[in-house]
Structure 1
Amino acid sequence: MSEPTHTPDLVVGEDGLARPRWAAVHEDLRAYYDTEWGLPVRDERGVFERLALEGFQSGLSWATILRRREGFRRAFADFDVDAVAAYGPAEVEALLADTGIIRHRGKIEATVSNARATVALRTAEGLGARGDLGPGSDLGRLVWSYRPARTPAPAVSAEVPTTSPGSRALAKELKSHGFRFVGPTTMFALMEAIGLVDTHLVGSHRRGTSGVWAADGTSVS
């Protein structure tokens, strides 16, 4: 096997592993990249957590969100969908005083609203990219129904897309079900985070390791 070609957008760490520059800045970002980002998340709670965090990240750095993750988990009942759906005005006001999270009223209220929309999906008809997911579905199955036939194979950071036809369609469907802070860019970031697409740079040690995509962008499962 030939050695991977490293580009200026990849940094080889002391461990000999190549990572994109954003994941080589701090240990917490490196650990997140190595052990979580881009690995498949399919369950309702897990997808709801990532959806909420991506919404909070809008306009901010991911490091800002990652370093408050445990605070978000405490604030939102470990992202238990039914518990968050039951939050009312008192809980929202308490969260606005919680220094462990991002105190943005719109994003907090959207997370509560999105929890309620997630509950409603369980009995909704005609969900999914083909409209063939019926009652008994959940947020995870809905989001994963937008998995593309191929994934990008970017050699440099400039080649990593910020939206896709799938992220635009997913955003449109989620908005139709009452979800908020779910624009196409945010949805593409969600798709990257949960392994629905693989945008690891070619040459990164994580490229093609998710069990969903091969290094060349073809599907393996």
Structure 2
Amino acid sequence: MTGAEAPGRCPWCGDDPLYVAYHDTEWGVPERDGRALFEKLVLDGFQAGLAWITILRKRENFRRAFQGFDPEVVARWGENDIARLLADPGIVRHRGKIEATVGNARAWLDLGGAEPFARMMWETVDHAPRQNLPETIAHVPAETPESRDLSKRLKAAGFRFCGPTIVYAVMQATGLVNDHLATCPRAEEVRRLGSVRP
């Protein structure tokens, strides 16, 4: 299915098949697994200063390089592992972001793992997705009071590369908020998914 076949689709994904598939199957779907939420936070941290499609195209390389984003593995990494990743052309080679990922894995473990991390994320919206359904892209904010609050709490827990704009992108992608445009075919589908309480 191309962008032309679904005229109401959120325009940010354009007609790139990979981007369209991400929009149509993943973006905005409520994610409550703490490991998956950790992965998304890390990848959105790597996106800082880049386009999301750049990260999406490298996502499988990132998963391979970071051992499936297993925090228990990544938290044990040291300088040799950082050097290995800096030499990996399949990922974004940015020392600060790689070091932050190792630190974030340690913070995730210090927090207590998957369940406490997921709870921290979902507490931001009282455990129920916010159904924003904006009319136009212009109505979609870059950050919100909730993302600023969550950013502060994550930083206090030791996480890095988690400013309010990055955090809001994570909230959008993992369904804490439904920012599919009201005209988008996925808006109602994602709203229904969000109505199922865990």
2:118 corresponds to which of 140, 143, 160: 140
Task: Name the CA distance, whole Å, in 1 between partners of 2:40 and 2:100.
Answer: 14
Code of the aligned partner of 1:200: H
1:57 corresponds to which of 44, 47, 70: 47
Alignment of 1:51-200 (within 5 A): 51-122=41-112, 137-147=115-125, 150-200=130-180
| Alignment gaps of 5+ in structure 1 | 1-11, 124-135, 214-218
The answer on whether the counterparts of 1:195 and 1:212 sit within 8 Å (CA) in structure 2 is no
Shift of residue 43 of structure 1? 1.0
The TM-score normalised by the length of structure 2 is 0.91
The answer on whether the counterparts of 1:154 and 1:199 sit within 8 Å (CA) in structure 2 is yes
| Alignment gaps of 5+ in structure 2 | none
The TM-score normalised by the length of structure 1 is 0.82
Structure 1 residues 154-207: Cα deviation after superposition (integer angstroms, max 9, x where no partner): 111010011111101100001001100000111000000000001101110110
Comparing 152-161 with 65-74, greater Cα deviation is found at 152-161
Aligned alpha-carbon RMSD (Å): 1.8
The DSSP-based 3-state class of the residue aligned with 2:9 is strand
Structure in which a larger fraction of residues adopt helix: 2
Larger radius of gyration: 1
The answer on whether the counterparts of 2:33 and 2:115 sit within 8 Å (CA) in structure 1 is no
Match of 1:43 in 2: 33
Task: Name the CA distance, whole Å, in 1 between partners of 2:36 and 2:166.
Answer: 16
Code of the aligned partner of 1:97: A
Aligned residues: 193
Shift of residue 212 of structure 1? 4.8
Code of the aligned partner of 1:113: G
List structure 1 segments (4+ residues) > 6 angstroms apart after TM superposition: none
Task: Name the CA distance, whole Å, in 1 between partners of 2:7 and 2:117.
Answer: 34
Task: Name the CA distance, whole Å, in 2 between partners of 1:137 and 1:70.
Answer: 25
Does 1 or 2 have the higher relative contact order (CA < 8 Å, sep 6+)? 2
Please state if 1:22 is matched with 2:2.
Answer: no
The answer on whether the counterparts of 1:77 and 1:84 sit within 8 Å (CA) in structure 2 is yes
Comparing 147-156 with 54-63, greater Cα deviation is found at 147-156
Shift of residue 13 of structure 1? 3.4
